[in-house]
Amino acid sequence: MQNKRRERIDRGIKVRTDGLYAISSFKEIMYLVFPRLLLIGGFLLLPIVLELAPYWKRVINILCVYAIIAISFDFLANFVGLVCLGGGLFVGVGGYFSAILNSYLKIPIFFSIPLSALLGGIFCTLLFLPCLKLRGVYFAIVTLMYPLLFTRIIEALNILGGTNGITGLDSFPNQHIENYLIILILLIILFGLRRLVNEDIGLVMRAVKDNDQSVKASGINVTYIKSIAVFIASFIGCLSGAYLAHLYMWAGLSLFSLDFSILPIAAVTVGGGGSIVGAVVGSLILVPLSEFLRFFGTFRIVIYSLILVLFLVLKSEGIMIYLTRKYHQFERWVDV
Amino acid sequence: MLEVTNLMVFYENMLAINNVTLTAKKGSIVGVFGSNSAGKSTLMYSISGIILDIKKKEAMKGGERITVFGKVIFDSKDITNLLPHERAKMGIVLCPERRRIFPESSVLENLKIGAYLDKRNEKKNLEYVLNIFPRLKDHLNRQGGFLSGGEQQMLAIGRALMASPSVLLLDEPLLGLSPYYQKIVVDSIKDIKATKNITVIVAEQYARPIIPVIDYGYIIENGSSVLEGTSESLLNNPDVKSAYFGV
């Protein structure tokens, strides 16, 4: 009996386009660029396509916010090795900063968003500095505790508007700016981070994830590298938080909610960790899904959880990793 | 008696083991020699069944596809598709490369974990292990991770012995050991065979200390078995001499 096995082979075009000759033909340029164009074009067309469904245009904003937080989680977890459940903290800190800047100090909206992202990034990095030594589940627990801590502080001391939150933030001039601002931010962060993790500092970060002792032995300050990574991640998170506060025209305790910590993790797991695009793809699936399921009332969470479980059990590698493989490789049966 | 017939293992498209056939008679010492990347560890994983576990994990995370062909037969039963824990229950116990002891458990606890499959003979086995490795006796309550490399290797072999194996697979038992410790380990292999009548399969790069004690040996290069023979025939083979003894 002749044994047969399934063989995976890189497509010829992949082998060729990986090299210098990618510019030699239109087909090969498209092979490299098409997936990226699809994503960019798709996102840019989304508000136009949904022009007739104003409710879903709001969903796009939320989707992008979740995607950005998921990217920040994916970056920290799979490229630096810090499992950070602080999505809620980033959103809350960013939101409150922009509320203070815009509502109290009357700084215009397009300055308050970047400024609060910067301040929030510094603030969160300082908070995390003492626990950068921690690894794995210990770091996760600390980062999970911070949002709860801030919720209770604001509640108990009745500062920053207390349980009512800060109201009276400026809204965006019109809905197109609202849509396209967050889409552009998402795309810039997505491609920027993908570039960053392949730069020198990205290599060092991945090395820290694999084996921080060897990195120390190479004469690199691990805490410094980690704090840079945490700053980048919290900057991104705070940016989306500031945007969200302006979208709701309100910064309240619900910005610290656990949703912002947990849902991005689910998105990364569904989309495939370690690819950054996976976080976006995961959010593209999970956020609309959760909106669709509102139709089912209280059963929503049940169906949502079941779908999530099915995803994880059947395709635990993540959709994006699976698709990338199918795109670059084909399979055939060969004789052994 | 353990038989491996026409074993082929692919890591994705790379052929790690090519048509290897190996026989280990009951109560003999079989040596598998080869340089790095020859396929020794893969062979060990295939015999102990760990390869099925690695295969599953790789498939889960979308990594390399591992394909295994051929048969592993133990006591005239086909165990090719048995999971590692089922093979361990049948008596095929692996002492893995780089020891893989439990660094935060004490030496005694490490040995007790090994005895999980054969609680009845725990005392007898413990006595035997401490008898062949007297150095472990002084460190019984020490954390495994704080032992020296040589002591960790003894502990790893001891832990495997606590399961009362009938086939003991040693993957690179001499890795990073000084000649003194190498001698202790090689002596223990001889003793295990002589007193317990356990089949031992040793995969090793350093052939010089091991070849004199084996009954039958295989030389593996790039996944294929290129030479086999008894201890004397390997010792006197000019190719082996030049490649492994530097003569």
Say yes or no to pLDDT of B247 above 70.
Answer: no
Query: Are residues B198 and B160 in contact, defined by beta-carbon separation less than 8 angstroms?
Result: no
Instruction: Tally the domains of chain B.
Output: 1
Residue A9: how many CB atoms within 10 A of its CB?
Answer: 15
Lowest average pLDDT, out of A301-305, B1-5, B140-144, B178-182, goes to A301-305
Structure tokens given for A23: 């510019």
Roughly what angle, to the nearest 10 degrees, separates helices B50-60 and B40-48?
100
| Mean pLDDT, rounded, for B191-208 | 92
Residue B89: exposure state from Cβ atoms within 10 A (0-12, 13-18, ≥19): middle
Q: What is the pLDDT of residue A293?
A: 85
Distance (Å) from the alpha carbon of A261 to chain B's nearest alpha carbon = 23
Minimal Cβ distance to A5: which of B60, B61, B67: B67
Could you say which residues from 297 to 336 on chain A have a Cβ atom under 8 Å away from some Cβ of chain B? 316-318, 321-322, 325, 336
Q: What is the pLDDT of residue A23?
A: 66
Q: What is the pLDDT of residue A257?
A: 87
Q: What is the pLDDT of residue A156?
A: 87
| Mean pLDDT, rounded, for B179-185 | 93
Structure tokens given for B210: 């091991």
CA-nearest residue to A319 within chain B is: B62
Residue B185: domain span: 2-245
CB-based contact B61 A316, cutoff 8 Å: yes
Q: What is the pLDDT of residue A2?
A: 63
Task: Specify the residue for token string 């005239």.
Answer: B76
Each residue's pLDDT, cut to its tens digit, for chain A (336 residues) gives 567 888 888 887 777 766 666 666 788 788 888 889 999 999 999 888 888 888 888 899 999 999 999 999 999 999 998 988 889 999 999 999 999 999 889 888 889 999 999 999 999 999 999 988 887 788 899 888 999 999 999 888 888 877 888 888 888 888 888 899 999 999 999 999 999 998 999 999 999 998 889 999 999 999 999 999 999 999 999 999 999 998 988 888 888 888 888 888 889 988 888 889 999 999 998 888 888 888 887 887 888 888 888 888 887 788 888 888 888 888 888 887
Minimal Cβ distance to B13: which of A3, A7, A322: A7
Distance (Å) from the alpha carbon of A309 to chain B's nearest alpha carbon = 14
By DSSP bridging, strand A329-335 and strand A4-10 are antiparallel
Q: In angstroms, what CA-CA distances link A205 with A108, A123, A199?
A: 36, 21, 10
Q: Which pLDDT band holds residue B244 (cuts at 50, 70, 90)?
A: confident
Minimal Cβ distance to B13: which of A8, A321, A325: A8
Residue B104: exposure state from Cβ atoms within 10 A (0-12, 13-18, ≥19): exposed
CB-based contact B62 A322, cutoff 8 Å: yes
Q: Which pLDDT band holds residue B245 (cuts at 50, 70, 90)?
A: confident
Cβ partners under 8 Å of residue B201, min gap 6:
B2, B24, B29, B30, B31, B32, B44, B47, B167, B168, B169, B170
Q: What is the pLDDT of residue A325?
A: 86
Residue A195: exposure state from Cβ atoms within 10 A (0-12, 13-18, ≥19): exposed
Assigned domain for A26 exists: no
How many residues are there in chain A?
Answer: 336
Assigned domain for A334 exists: no
Q: What is the pLDDT of residue A172?
A: 85
Structure tokens given for B184: 């202790």
CA-nearest residue to A2 within chain B is: B69
Element (H, E) at A6: strand A4-10
The C-alpha atoms of residue A225 and residue A30 are separated, in whole angstroms, by: 36
CB-based contact B60 A317, cutoff 8 Å: yes
By DSSP bridging, strand B199-204 and strand B29-33 are parallel
Q: What is the pLDDT of residue A20?
A: 60
Q: For A294, which DSSP code?
A: G
Could you say which residues from 82 to 111 on chain A have a Cβ atom under 8 Å away from some Cβ of chain B? none
Instruction: Tally the domains of chain A.
Output: 1
CA-nearest residue to A332 within chain B is: B13
DSSP for A137-159, written as a single string: HHHHHHHHHHHHHHHHHHHHHT-
Cβ partners under 8 Å of residue A332, min gap 6:
A6, A7, A9
CB-based contact B62 A3, cutoff 8 Å: no
Amino acid letter, residue A30: M
Q: For A168, which DSSP code?
A: -
CB-based contact B62 A336, cutoff 8 Å: no
Q: Does A264 touch chain B (CB under 8 A)?
A: no
Instruction: Indicate which CATH number applies to the domain containing B239.
Output: 3.40.50.300
The C-alpha atoms of residue A177 and residue A183 are separated, in whole angstroms, by: 10
Distance (Å) from the alpha carbon of B147 to chain A's nearest alpha carbon = 20
CA-nearest residue to A3 within chain B is: B69
Instruction: Indicate which CATH number applies to the domain containing A146.
Output: 1.10.3470
Structure tokens given for B238: 């000019």
CA-nearest residue to A313 within chain B is: B60
The C-alpha atoms of residue A260 and residue A245 are separated, in whole angstroms, by: 14
Residues in A touching B60 (Cβ below 8 Å)? 316-317
Question: Phi first, then psi: what are they for A262, rounded to 5°?
Answer: -90, -45
Handedness of CA B130, B133, B137, B142 (dihedral sign): negative
Structure tokens given for B4: 């491996």
Q: What is the pLDDT of residue B174?
A: 92
Cβ partners under 8 Å of residue A162, min gap 6:
A154, A155
CA-nearest residue to A321 within chain B is: B62
Q: What is the pLDDT of residue A19?
A: 61
Q: What is the pLDDT of residue A160?
A: 87
The C-alpha atoms of residue B164 and residue B84 are separated, in whole angstroms, by: 16
Assigned domain for A155 exists: yes
The C-alpha atoms of residue B8 and residue B15 are separated, in whole angstroms, by: 7
Minimal Cβ distance to A336: which of B60, B61, B69: B69
Q: In angstroms, what CA-CA distances link B196 with A301, B4, B28, B204, B210?
A: 59, 23, 11, 22, 19
Q: In angstroms, what CA-CA distances link B233 with A175, A309, B219, B220?
A: 85, 59, 12, 16
The C-alpha atoms of residue A236 and residue A65 are separated, in whole angstroms, by: 10
Most A CBs within 10 A among B14, B65, B71, B80, hence the mutation to make, goes to B65
Distance (Å) from the alpha carbon of B132 to chain A's nearest alpha carbon = 36
DSSP for chain B, written as a single string: -EEEEEEEEEETTEEEEEEEEEEE-TT-EEEEE--TTSSHHHHHHHHHTHHHHHHHHHHHTT---EEEEEEEEETTEE-TT--HHHHHHHTEEEE-TT----TTSBHHHHHHHHGGG-STTHHHHHHHHHHH-HHHHTTTTSBGGGS-HHHHHHHHHHHHHTT--SEEEEESTTTT--HHHHHHHHHHHHHHHHHH--EEEEEES-HHHHGGG-SEEEEEETTEEEEEEEHHHHHH-HHHIIIII--
Q: Which residues of B touch A (CB under 8 A)?
A: 8, 10, 12-13, 60-62, 65, 67, 69
Residue A208: how many CB atoms within 10 A of its CB?
Answer: 22
Query: Are residues A5 and A334 in contact, defined by beta-carbon separation less than 8 angstroms?
Result: yes
The C-alpha atoms of residue A102 and residue A108 are separated, in whole angstroms, by: 6
Residue B215: exposure state from Cβ atoms within 10 A (0-12, 13-18, ≥19): middle
CA-nearest residue to B61 within chain A is: A317
Distance (Å) from the alpha carbon of B134 to chain A's nearest alpha carbon = 34
Residues in A touching B65 (Cβ below 8 Å)? 6, 8
The C-alpha atoms of residue B189 and residue B30 are separated, in whole angstroms, by: 11
The C-alpha atoms of residue A30 and residue A21 are separated, in whole angstroms, by: 13
Q: What is the pLDDT of residues B79-131, one digit of tens each?
A: 999 999 999 999 999 999 988 999 999 999 999 999 999 899 999 999 999 99
Minimal Cβ distance to A316: which of B10, B13, B60: B60
| Mean pLDDT, rounded, for B24-37 | 92
